[in-house]
Amino acid sequence: MGTTRREFLKSAAFGLGGLRLSRVPFERGSERLPGASRPVVVSSANGLRATERAMEMIRGGADALEAVVAGVNLVEEDPEDTSVGYGGLPNALGVVQLDASVMHGPTRGAGAVAALEGIRYPSRVALAVMRYTDHVLLVAEGAKRFALEFGFKEENLLTDRARTAWLEWRASLSADDDYLTPEESGEPIRGFGLTDAWDGTRTYGTIHCAAVDAAGNVSGVTTTSGLAFKVPGRVGDSPLIGAGLYVDNDVGACGSTGRGEAVMKVCGSMLVVENMRRGMPPTDACLDALGRIVRNTVEKRLLDAGGRPNFNVNFYALNRRGEHGAAAIWSGSRFAVHDGERSEIRESAYLSRGGRG
């Protein structure tokens, strides 16, 4: 007969289950780590406000995960940011589908949602998955049902701007379908007074934010609307633990933005954290993982004339001592950091000089 989880934990508490209580993750919640310094918050370039909010909260005594989630919520709710949450660019059918993950270093906790529709704050739903279930990842209808059960409000996330961008993208697809291209119709699409809402590139969007507090405890979050106009149901790297986010409280944190498919295939964020575990500084750890992505990119459709990836990937890393850095395949990328003194945007390191930001 099987043992229920409740019975197992109970027997473990008495030393009968092969698991000593000292090894149950939530027992580690308040550990003070050697080598800790002042709090540091790192984010992708669209997260300057997130770093400020997170630092303010950490200084006020908040848990680092609460702080970074509150930070990215500012971007998730911003209709002007078309890469995340409310206002994010939709999938090929015009439906906004969101991915997010969180990891909490001190409790070794993780939670994530993928292809979530109708909920503005996927990062908060991921946090609820971590806190209130025995699972790590909920997807699609199940994720939405869970969110509604926990009181999240359902709303239409497709803003007029994102809808117009989608209409423009759809019209541009083919001269053989029944949606007229701008050349055929002779005029731009006008959606609620907006024209030219789409700049012609399919972005991967995303915000990542990670923090280390004064005790050296590390947490992180990654949240996105994913690849613009993706195949419905497509899931990127952001909600996948080890790909778009990885935190190990013994080492540090990493998150990614850019082409999720490339990050997923090398377990990118975990690779960066493992590089740091072996002693690499954060920026070097990111560059090494990007090199792995470049070596693994062999598909002709993904290479430029020089045989280099025709896409970009960014990694953002910090260790428990507060050392931090970011790197991208192509030059021109930036990241946001609050280093304990000020928040600012900095240039990322890169593998190749070029213009893919």
**Minimum Å distance from CB 234 to ligand GLY?**
8
Question: Residue 82 or residue 343: which is nearer to ligand GLY going by CB?
Answer: 82
Question: Which range of residues in 161-169, 235-243, 288-296, 341-349 is near ligand GLY by CB under 6 A?
Answer: 235-243
Interface with ligand GLY includes 122 (CB under 6 A)? Answer: no
Q: Which residues contact 89 (CB under 8 A, 6 or more apart)?
A: 82, 83, 96, 162, 165, 166, 203, 205, 225, 228, 229
CB 249 to ligand GLY: min, Å: 24
Of these residues, 82, 107, 203, 206, which one is catalytic?
A: 206
Question: If binding means CB under 6 A, how many residues of this protein chain bind ligand GLY?
Answer: 13
* Residues of the chain by 3-state class (helix, strand, coil), percent to 5: 30, 20, 45
Q: Which of 166, 198, 204, 311 binds ligand GLY (CB under 6 A)?
A: 204
Tokens representing 309 are: 């990836």
236 binds ligand GLY (CB under 6 A): yes
Task: Candidates 237, 248, 274, 339: give the one binding ligand GLY (CB under 6 A).
Answer: 237
Task: Rank residues 161 and 259 by Cβ distance to ligand GLY and give the closer one.
Answer: 259
Q: Does 239 bind ligand GLY (CB under 6 A)?
A: no
| Among residues 238, 249, 333, 343, the one that binds ligand GLY under rule CB under 6 A | 238
Instruction: Name the amino acid, one letter, at 305.
Output: A
107 or 257: CB nearest ligand GLY: 257
- For residues 338 and 54, the answer to whether their CB atoms sit within 8 Å is yes
> Considering only residues 256-315, where is the footprint of ligand GLY by CB under 6 A?
257-260
21-80 residues in contact with ligand GLY (CB under 6 A) are none
Choose which of 103, 218, 227, 254 interacts with ligand GLY (CB under 6 A): 227
For 167-220, the DSSP string reads: HHHHHHS-SSSSSPPHHHHSS---BTTB-----S------EEEEEE-TT--EEE
Distances (CA, A) of 6 to 2, 14, 20, 22, 133: 12, 13, 15, 17, 13
Cα 170 to chain centroid, rounded: 26
315 within 8 A of 256, measured Cβ to Cβ? yes
Kindly state the smallest distance separating residue 257's Cβ from ligand GLY, in Å: 5
Instruction: Respond yes or no: is residue 206 known to be catalytic.
Output: yes
Evaluate whether 140 touches 115 at the Cβ level (below 8 Å). yes
Among residues 204 and 315, whose Cβ is nearest to ligand GLY?
204
- Give burial (CB, 10 Å; 0-12/13-18/19+) of 214: middle
Name every residue whose Cβ is closer than 8 Å to that of residue 41 and which is 6 or more positions away in sequence. 50, 51, 54, 55, 58, 67, 68, 71, 209, 210, 211, 337, 338, 343
Which C-beta is closer to ligand GLY: that of 111 or that of 244?
244
To ligand GLY, the closest distance from the beta carbon of 198 in angstroms equals 17
**If DSSP codes are grouped into helix, strand and coil, which group holds residue 285?**
helix
Q: Which is nearer to ligand GLY, 11 or 310 (CB)?
A: 310
Nearer to ligand GLY, 28 or 265 (CB): 265
Q: Which of 206, 219, 275, 333 binds ligand GLY (CB under 6 A)?
A: 206
The residue among 215, 238, 248 whose CA lies nearest residue 105 is 248
- What's phi and psi for 221, nearest 5 deg? -145, 145
Could you give the residue numbers annotated as active site? 206
Contact residues toward ligand GLY (CB under 6 A) are: 204, 206, 224, 226-227, 236-238, 244, 257-260
